């Protein structure tokens, strides 16, 4: 048991790093953010345009007939979410930092990032690209929910790894 636990503790940060890259990739998938109004792609009105998490974080504008329509404005929470995820996933791989400190910091960063991911729909800044911007509600799609779940999970794993002590 001792040997298996030690091997898992050594490999866990690298497995989480690889899966963390997957978390960031799924944030690029359309459908991560839903709105109560349909948004049509200007070139083809029959095609509904789906928003990605990154578009809700960093803004999304489209030019239609020479006029730029902003659907989402830049969201300052995005500046916090991505660095917390990246640092939280990379930090456990640094062997020069004391073992428990790096896992506790990493777990804390990932738990905060997970909470901010779930706050994203409530803090999305709506632009004038919608027909009635005041009545637009933003909700989480599957990619955002999956990213939040895995971010929380990785945060908890890091904290558990830091707290559980290997018996000699």
Q: What was the pLDDT predicted at 168? A: 42
**Is residue 56 one of the residues assigned to a domain?**
yes
Higher pLDDT among residues 75 and 42, named by residue: 75
Which domain covers residue 24, as residue numbers?
Answer: 2-163
**Is residue 168 one of the residues assigned to a domain?**
no
**Is residue 159 one of the residues assigned to a domain?**
yes
In this prediction, residues 55-72 reach a mean pLDDT of 86
Determine the length of the chain: 168
**Is residue 64 one of the residues assigned to a domain?**
yes
Q: What is the pLDDT of residues 9-25, one digit of tens each?
A: 677 788 888 888 888 88
Q: In CATH, what number is assigned to the domain containing residue 48?
A: 1.20.140
For residue 149, what pLDDT band results from cuts at 50, 70 and 90?
very high
Q: How many domains does the chain have?
A: 1
Question: pTM value?
Answer: 0.82
**Is residue 52 one of the residues assigned to a domain?**
yes
Q: What was the pLDDT predicted at 131? A: 77
């Amino acid at each position: 048991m001792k040997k298996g636990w030690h091997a898992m503790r050594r490999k866990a940060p690298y497995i989480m790093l690889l899966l963390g890259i997957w978390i960031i990739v799924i944030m690029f998938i359309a459908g991560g953010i839903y709105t109560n109004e349909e948004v049509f792609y200007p070139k083809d009105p029959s095609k509904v345009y789906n928003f990605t998490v990154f578009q809700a974080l960093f803004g999304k504008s489209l030019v239609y007939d020479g006029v730029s329509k902003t659907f989402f404005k830049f969201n300052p929470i995005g500046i916090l979410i991505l660095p917390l995820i990246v640092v939280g996933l990379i930090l456990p791989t640094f062997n020069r930092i004391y073992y428990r400190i790096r896992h506790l910091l990493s777990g804390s960063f990932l738990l905060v990032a997970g909470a901010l991911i779930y706050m994203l729909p409530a803090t999305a800044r709506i632009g004038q690209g919608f027909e009635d911007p005041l009545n637009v509600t933003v909700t989480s799609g599957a990619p955002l929910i999956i990213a939040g779940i895995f971010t929380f999970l990785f945060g908890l794993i890091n904290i558990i790894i830091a707290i559980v002590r290997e018996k000699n």
